[in-house]
Amino acid sequence: MPKRVLIVGGVAAGASAATKARREDEEAEICLFERGPYVSFANCGLPYYISGEINHMEDLLVVTPKRLEDRFNLQVFVNHAVRRVDPKKRQIYVEDLERGGIKTHSYDSLILAPGAYPIAPPFPGRDAPNFFMLRTIPDAEDLKKFIDEREPKRALIVGGGFIGLEALEAFTARGIGVTLVEMLPHVLPNMDPETTVHVEEEMSRMGAKIILGNGVKSFEKDSSGLIKKTILENGRRIACDLVLLSIGVRPDVKLAKESGVEMGATGAIKVNDRMETSVRGIFAAGDAVESLNLVTGKPGWFALAGPANQQGRVAGANAVGKDLRFRGTLGTFIVRIGKIVAAKTGLSEREAQTEGYDFITVLNHPMHHATYYPGAKTLHMKLVAEKGSGRVLGAQVVGEEGVDKRIDVLATAIFFGAKIGDLGDLNLAYAPPFGAARDPVNQAGLVGSHLISGEVEAYHPVRAKDQDGEDVVFLDVRTPKEWEKGTIPNALKIPVDELRKSLPEVKAKIRGRCVVPYCMEGYRSYIAYRMLKQKSVECVKNYAGGYLSYLSHRAVDIEE
């Protein structure tokens, strides 16, 4: 008898599962149920459809039901919602949303891939026609139609995660002024504030207003029933012609829970590395499941397209009797806002702290390619590594160019368990238009290995408040031309090339205090650090990431 495989949800995880099952088993009967009108569409492309970068909605359809039927011999049921699972009888109950009526289908293997749903608290006023969320193609079509027809001037975006930021970019491209409200003290909550501050600066440059540390209380409608004002928790009222709510998603676990499937600690469906749930014959994949965090070794929840596709593939193969494994994820993501790209893999500093790691952080601001080749742009990088082992725990990269390449190198290194020193030894591609003979990733590795070995002690500006009691003297080792553009207040100023001969003067001025050399981004101050250390200056700390880190942290302090 051919195996019967039923799949709930027809997008990233569901469609991957279905096509992999077919590639493994030509005889199986495979049915895909999707409650929406489309299968296998690119949610990730929706913001670019709103902006007009992607012109035709059809371009978002990665594969059509006809292609799934012709090429993969799948039975595709769109506008069909799976309402109930009976694991004892191995049956599902499916409602036809167009014609009505419920039909029963039997399975040998069932794959749950229902995804996640947007968090939408019952704010008063959110039933208005100019209130939107962005998850599906119909959501995007409604929003685009509203913009095309009504030509709104002011949009209010609630939530500064990657969907909120991509929407901000799209609205700005359409000539709409944006105010973005975020409850937390910075956007992209999974990253650290001194990296996201560069994103916020770009948002402001694009003309957006950013309100941090504040949430939405309600919406006020006018006589036509449209939201005209958003009321914030602190009572502030913001005029707007359109509202987009993007405050995060939750795993859609209703069907799984009602089927007796066990949930994990994160609230998502618990699965093993074969994507099997606790109920025999039922697999699950995608945004609805939790997966192993490859850094912590603990279950985590990551709603991202890459893992959803990988998990779907594993579930599809195993549903027809194969034995594939999903290894886990690092939560690697990347987002573009105007000219700036922000990306992260593994843990942020805050996450490393929460997990109880003893760690060092590397801050550096290298150019994305050789400085002498025209067009070099600054990258802002932050790496976290475990103190004892040197294992890289996470990385964040923000900048205009070359972010994608660095984050993927770092994600690959972390995936294979790299130590921070290994990054210094990586042999990466180099020619002046693409990188540097010592690539930014190599540089970060060298800085980190010095910190781990104790060869260099860093002054970490994030912890400047904790270091208030510490009596330090900042030593600016840049050139007089650079000083003209700004220095840390009260810093001693001696260019690194004159430091050797000025040592007696430095020693006299520091009078037993700790000296913190800094330059633009950390290299010249490292040379000064080594010189001072070998000339018997007892307490020296290198300013991590130099003056550029100082500016980032000052910007965070000003925001706070």
- Active-site residues, by number, are 44
Stretch that binds ligand FAD, among 36-44, 172-180, 212-220, 236-244 (CB under 6 A): 36-44
Residue 510 is given by DSSP the state H
Is the separation of the CB atoms in 537 and 506 below 8 Å? yes
Site string for ligand FAD, 68-107 (x = CB under 6 A): -------------xx-------------------------
The window from 42-50, 174-182, 228-236, 447-455 that contacts ligand FAD (CB under 6 A) reads 42-50
Under the binding rule (CB under 6 A), the answer on residue 18 touching ligand FAD is no
What backbone phi and psi angles, to 5 degrees, belong to 227?
-65, 130
Pairing of the two strands 392-399 and 340-346: antiparallel
Q: Is 260 in the site for ligand FAD (CB under 6 A)?
A: no
Q: Which residue has the tokens 């965070």?
A: 556
Beta-carbon count within 10 A of 297 CB: 9
Q: Which of 9, 331, 394, 399 binds ligand FAD (CB under 6 A)?
A: 9
Nearer to ligand FAD, 159 or 435 (CB): 159
**12 belongs to the binding site for ligand FAD (CB under 6 A):** yes
CB nearer ligand FAD, residue 32 or residue 381: 32
Q: Applying CB under 6 A, which of residues 21, 199, 255, 343 lies at the interface with ligand FAD?
A: 255
Q: Which residues pair with 396 in a beta bridge?
A: 344, 382
* Residue of 25, 29, 115, 460 interacting with ligand FAD (CB under 6 A): 115
Decide: 167 and 182 in contact? Cβ < 8 Å.
no
Question: What is the largest distance, in Å, between two alpha-carbon atoms of the chain?
Answer: 90
The answer to the question of residue 248 lying near ligand FAD (CB under 6 A) is no
How many angstroms separate the CA atoms of 547 and 365, rounded? Answer: 10
Site string for ligand FAD, 46-65 (x = CB under 6 A): xx------------------
Token duo for residue 55: 């012109």
Q: Which residue, 13 or 510, has its beta carbon nearer to ligand FAD?
A: 13
CA distances from 65 to 54, 61, 187, 388 (A): 21, 10, 38, 53
**Interacting residues of 286 by C-beta distance below 8 A, sequence separation 6+:** 9, 11, 12, 13, 14, 113, 114, 115, 307, 308, 311, 312
Closest contact distance (angstroms) between CB of 148 and ligand FAD is 19
361 part of the interface to ligand FAD, by CB under 6 A: no
Binding ligand FAD (rule: CB under 6 A), the pick from 6, 7, 25, 35 is 35
And the tokens for 265?
């600690």
Residue 42 CB coordination number (10 Å): 17
d(CA 208, CA 141): 24
Work out whether 165 is an interface residue with ligand FAD (CB under 6 A).
no
The footprint of ligand FAD on residues 269-328 (CB under 6 A) is 286-287, 303-306, 308
Q: Return d(Cα 183, Cα 214) in angstroms, integer.
A: 4
Q: How many residues bind ligand FAD (CB under 6 A)?
A: 32
Going by C-beta distance under 8 Å and a sequence separation of 6 or more, which residues neighbour residue 23?
Answer: none
13 scored as a contact of ligand FAD (CB under 6 A): yes
Position among 43, 51, 542, 549 found at the interface with ligand FAD (CB under 6 A): 43
Q: What is the SS3 assignment for 443?
A: helix
Sole window of 4-12, 365-373, 375-383, 426-434 interacting with ligand FAD (rule: CB under 6 A): 4-12
Region at 397 (left for phi over 0; alpha for psi -120 to 50; beta for the rest): beta
CB-CB contact of 54 with 67 (8 Å): no
* Contact flag: residue 14 with ligand FAD (CB under 6 A): yes
Closer to ligand FAD by CB, 45 or 545: give it: 45
**441 binds ligand FAD, rule: CB under 6 A:** no
**Contact between 216 and ligand FAD per CB under 6 A:** no
DSSP 8-state class, residue 9: -
Token pair, residue 369, equals 């390619």
Residues 128, 219 contacting (CB under 8 angstroms): yes
Closest approach of ligand FAD to the CB of residue 312, in Å:
7
* Binding flag, residue 164, ligand FAD (CB under 6 A): no
Question: Measured from the CB of residue 534, what is the shortest distance to ligand FAD in angstroms?
Answer: 48
Decide: is 33 part of the binding site for ligand FAD (CB under 6 A): yes
CB of 63 to ligand FAD, least distance (A): 13
Nearer to ligand FAD, 47 or 461 (CB): 47
Shortest distance, position 305 Cβ to ligand FAD, whole Å = 4
Q: How far is the CB of 160 from ligand FAD (least distance, A)?
A: 14
Please tell me whether residue 8 binds ligand FAD under the rule CB under 6 A. yes
Pair 337, 201: CB distance under 8 Å: no
Is residue 159 involved in binding ligand FAD (CB under 6 A)? no
Q: Report the residue number, 152 or 286, with the smaller CB distance to ligand FAD.
A: 286
Contact 399, 379 (CB under 8 A): yes
| 526: nearest Cα among 399, 364, 416 | 364
Cβ-based burial of 13 (10 A; exposed 0-12, middle 13-18, buried ≥19): buried
The C-alpha atoms of residue 127 and residue 354 are separated, in whole angstroms, by: 38
Does position 160 interact with ligand FAD (CB under 6 A)? The reply is no
* 252 lies in the site for ligand FAD, by CB under 6 A: yes
Give whichever of 133 and 492 is closer to ligand FAD, judged by the CB atom.
Answer: 133
Give the interface segment with ligand FAD, choosing from 38-46, 124-132, 201-209, 353-361 (CB under 6 A): 38-46
Closest approach, Cβ 74 to ligand FAD, in A, equals 15
SS3 558: helix
Point out which residues pair with 282 in neighbouring strands: 110
- What residues make contact with ligand FAD under the rule CB under 6 A? 8-9, 11-14, 33-36, 43-44, 46-47, 81-82, 113-116, 134-135, 163, 252, 255, 286-287, 303-306, 308
